Amino acid sequence: MNHDTYDDNYIRGILNGVKTIAMVGASPVNVRPSYFAFKYLAQRGYDMIPVNPGQVGKSLVGKPFVASLRDIGRPIDMVDIFRNSSVALSLVEEALTLDPLPKVIWMQLGVRNDEAAAKAEAAGLKVVMNRCPKIEYGRLSSEISWMGVNSRTLSSKRAPIPTQGMRLSLNRVSFGGGDTSAADRAAQGKKDPT
């Protein structure tokens, strides 16, 4: 597989197909990228598991930290690697000892290890490298345009503002959408009387 570019359907299929995500390298520090990605994905209905041996005894958005993938004790669909490329191979090797195997190995932005990818793919797992599931989710669900980021999609139609319980284009329900009456009126296409 060419890991320099990914077809949107490949990414969409992964994000629609996984439910449980173990994020290796998650941080409880609320200014770290892993914190934002973890919280965002949890708010989109994914069952998130924070993996960080230095944080055991703490929790991240109500989810207790575990020390390693082996300590999870239940099936996981995706391993999200938020660590350096140099440790990706050892994390893939650990993931390949799990029973059942995860479906996906996802390496965050800046993380690429072709040897680890080849090993995971040889075992039948899907692999994504140098991408962030939070960004890909936002891009494919049109949420990213609400944040003022260019999605490279031209349209004269504005995407609806997410509301609590709204079904998003990636077959997920928003748990963190707008909950003000102004946001609800905008989502329903009604004009604000003020």
Are residues 99 and 39 part of one domain?
yes
> Phi and psi (nearest 5°) for 14?
-65, -50
* Averaged confidence pLDDT in the chain: 85
In this predicted model, what pLDDT tens digit does every residue of 83-127 receive, in sequence order? 999 999 999 999 999 999 999 999 999 999 999 999 999 999 999
**Rounded Cα distance, 85 and 103, in Å:** 20
Domain count, the chain: 2
Q: What is the 3-state secondary structure (H, E, C) of 176-192?
A: CCECCHHHHHHHCCCCC
Are residues 96 and 57 part of one domain?
yes
194 domain residue, yes or no: no
Query: What pTM, to 2 d.p., does this model score?
Result: 0.77
Are residues 21 and 75 part of one domain?
yes
By 3-state DSSP, what share of the chain in percent is helix, strand and coil, each rounded to 5? 35, 15, 50
Q: What is the pLDDT of residue 142?
A: 75
Q: What is the pLDDT of residue 183?
A: 47
Q: Is 152 left (phi over 0), alpha (psi -120 to 50) or beta?
A: left
Are residues 118 and 173 part of one domain?
no
pLDDT confidence band for 188 (50 / 70 / 90): low
**Rounded Cα distance, 34 and 91, in Å:** 17
- Residue range of the domain that includes 29: 8-136
